[in-house]
Structure 1
Amino acid sequence: MPEPLDDTEIRLSAFTWLEAQVKQHGDVLPRSLLLSGFKLGGHRIPLISRQGIFKPKVLREVPISITTTTSGPYRDRMSPDGLMLYSYRGRDPQHPENVGLRKAMQRQVPLIYFHGLVPGKYLAVWPAFVVGDNPAALEFTVAIDDPSYIPSDRLHLASAAMAREGEEQARRIYVTSTVRQRLRQRSFRERVLEAYREQCAMCSLRHTELLDAAHIIPDGEPGGDPVIVNGIALCKLHHAAFDGFFLGVRPDLVVEVRKDILEEEDGPMLIHGLKRLHGVRLWVPRASSLRPDSSRLETRYDRFLAVQRGESAAAVELPDQR
């Protein structure tokens, strides 16, 4: 019979295993891998289940992970101070899963936070700490910290009071904000690649490691939202060419290569990688709700034409995207 395991040993082993999986697979992990989990002391320890708040059998009181899915009844939100809000399980503050998270807050035990990007794929972030509890709103406040601040000999880093003030609070707010940005980027990429069947819309390359989700209107500009209709799945070569205005896409989805590039003589890569795309129709999803937004494409194409004339792309006025 397997020996009982220490809580600290389980959590540190989970973090180490996740770090190895991220190095091997990237930071977006498949659900099947997380369900299978890892082995420790004769136990197999999964890290995820159907429940959003998950405590494997080897742990006594405090969950090991929390999960937000794309289709579940609960949606994570942000607090005014930039931390994450995580909904209770149900409406009973004394539900065992809610009690478990409350104990995680009181003891400042680190958790893993799995963010669902598309069905079956998750961004894993750790350590996550419960730093607030609001029974009236039926939600907890969650902060993400830097993994380097987890001592190897103990996991109870600080009291809940200490976690709400000083350097630790400032660091956690900063780390949480970077995770939010990474979540936006990864979610955008996964949703766009899924819509485009994980292939380049210009050359049909299917190796996902070489694919990006290109913004039509850049992130941070009006209309540059991380939504599928503002994205095109492109391989890294054609993404760079699109961003650099070596080529453009007309509102009717036809690719145009810049005139000076068409006239240039420079080996097979230029011919096969760029020149042969001139006049090719972009491959787009069948569903109109997933296709590139025509007004955004028009703005982007106007910028391409401006660059082709030797003008600045920034001079092209953005339309109202409301």
Structure 2
Amino acid sequence: MTAGDDVDTRLRLAMFAHLDRISAAYPSGIPSDVINTFEFDGEAVRLVVQPGIRKPARLSAALTIRTTYTPQGGARPYEDEFGTDGTLHYKWRGTDPAHPDNRALREAMVRRSPLAYFYPMAKGVYHAIYPVYLVEEDPARHEFAVDLGELEHSVEGIEVLPERRYARRLTLQRLHQVVFRPKVLRAYEARCALCRLGHAPLLDAAHILPDRHRRGEPVVPNGLAMCKIHHAAYDANIIGIRPDRVVEVREDILTEIDGPMLRHGLQEMHGSTIFLPRSRHDRPDPTRLEERYEQFRSAA
């Protein structure tokens, strides 16, 4: 291992540790200024940069890539897209194969270097997906294929990372699952839709219709931010949510006598109205709520 390899390895490991910390602290999306608080060997290292491809001067291969946020209906500056095999088709910088950014991406591909990919949640807010790998280049389309597969890796060293299973791919559905929780928590301002609990580590993104359902897509209108107690109760048909967004508690639970958790956490939810996202596009789909409510009624 050369001195340069050692710096490259140490920097990437330090970056992943940094992203572990801030991802836990910002589960609904990390602001770019927080991402860029990263320091290595006493020096600030920006991870999110305007062109989208980041290669620090100390490295020969790219370190991070990002996709630019585009509002609904807006024109994307680069046509990054996801293939049905789960790979991200990430565009070159321009059309010159010798552009320094494109050479840095190519070097990361040849070296099988792990990168971080920043998926846009909002303007200046990202969900970090890592490690990812550049696995193929298509010069005719001016793009690289990026493997977003989740891989086993050692926290003690990057040496095991090149032994990844190339055949493993995320489907487009899998990618949506990865960002489902941060999108739902962001829509609900990191609060439980039932009790308004605002502690993100205690919150889940609950599906209205489950994954196995034909309309159970991991999209925000099929999601509800719920604390873990209410999520479990919803999945167990202890509580239901009507299409008009009013909460019902199963009758036998309403008459049960137990401690304060049952009384305040469940029984007092009966007849309340759920907390809604500000954006109408993010609010729960009434048709999905209706179908799920009928399941609750049948179970009750």
| TM-score calculated relative to the size of structure 2 | 0.84
Q: C-alpha deviations, 1:113-162, integer Å up to 9, x for none? A: 33334441322301x332211121121112357363799596995xxxxx
Give the % identical residues. 39
Matched residue, 1:161: none
Matched residue, 2:272: 280
Shift of 1:199: 0.9
Q: Does residue 92 in structure 1 map to residue 96 in structure 2?
A: yes
Q: Which amino acid aligns with 1:125?
A: Y
Shift of 1:234: 1.1
Matched residue, 1:232: 224
Q: Does residue 289 in structure 1 map to residue 290 in structure 2?
A: no
Q: C-alpha deviations, 1:221-272, integer Å up to 9, x for none? A: 2111111111111111111111111010111111000011111111111110
Q: Which has the larger radius of gyration?
A: 1
Q: 1:218 to 1:75 in 2, by over 3 A?
A: farther
Q: C-alpha deviations, 1:76-114, integer Å up to 9, x for none? A: 434455433211122333322112212322343333333
Matched residue, 1:53: 53
Shift of 1:63: 1.6
Q: 1:62 to 1:250 in 2, by over 3 A?
A: same
Matched residue, 2:146: 142
Q: Does residue 223 in structure 1 map to residue 215 in structure 2?
A: yes
Q: Which amino acid aligns with 1:109?
A: S
Q: 1:7 to 1:73 in 2, by over 3 A?
A: farther
Q: Separation in 2 of the partners of 1:69 and 1:106?
A: 25
Matched residue, 2:130: 125
Q: Does residue 210 in structure 1 map to residue 202 in structure 2?
A: yes
- Describe how 1:30-49 pairs up with structure 2 within 5 A: 30-40=31-41, 42-49=42-49
Q: Does residue 201 in structure 1 map to residue 193 in structure 2?
A: yes
In the alignment, is the contact (CA less than 8 A) between 1:83 and 1:143 conserved in 2? yes
Q: Separation in 2 of the partners of 1:10 and 1:147?
A: 22
- Describe how 1:133-212 pairs up with structure 2 within 5 A: 133-144=137-148, 146=151, 148=153, 152=157, 171-174=165-168, 176-177=169-170, 181=174, 183-212=175-204
Q: 1:172 to 1:149 in 2, by over 3 A?
A: farther
Matched residue, 1:319: none
Q: Spell out structure 1 runs of 4+ moving beyond 6 A.
A: 153-156
Higher RCO structure (Cα 8 Å, ≥6 apart): 2
Q: Separation in 1 of the partners of 2:130 and 2:182?
A: 17
Q: Does residue 111 in structure 1 map to residue 108 in structure 2?
A: no
Structure with higher helix content: 1
In the alignment, is the contact (CA less than 8 A) between 1:134 and 1:140 conserved in 2? yes
Matched residue, 2:9: 12
Aligned-pair RMSD on alpha carbons? Answer: 2.9
Q: Separation in 1 of the partners of 2:22 and 2:43?
A: 24
Q: Which amino acid aligns with 1:39?
A: F
Q: Separation in 1 of the partners of 2:111 and 2:228?
A: 45
Q: Separation in 2 of the partners of 1:96 and 1:147?
A: 31
Residues 209-218 or 7-16, more deviating = 7-16
Q: Which amino acid aligns with 2:115?
A: L
Q: C-alpha deviations, 1:42-67, integer Å up to 9, x for none? A: 533232212211112222x3221112
Q: Does residue 62 in structure 1 map to residue 61 in structure 2?
A: yes
Q: 1:178 to 1:125 in 2, by over 3 A?
A: farther
SS across alignment from 1:74? coil
| TM-score calculated relative to the size of structure 1 | 0.79
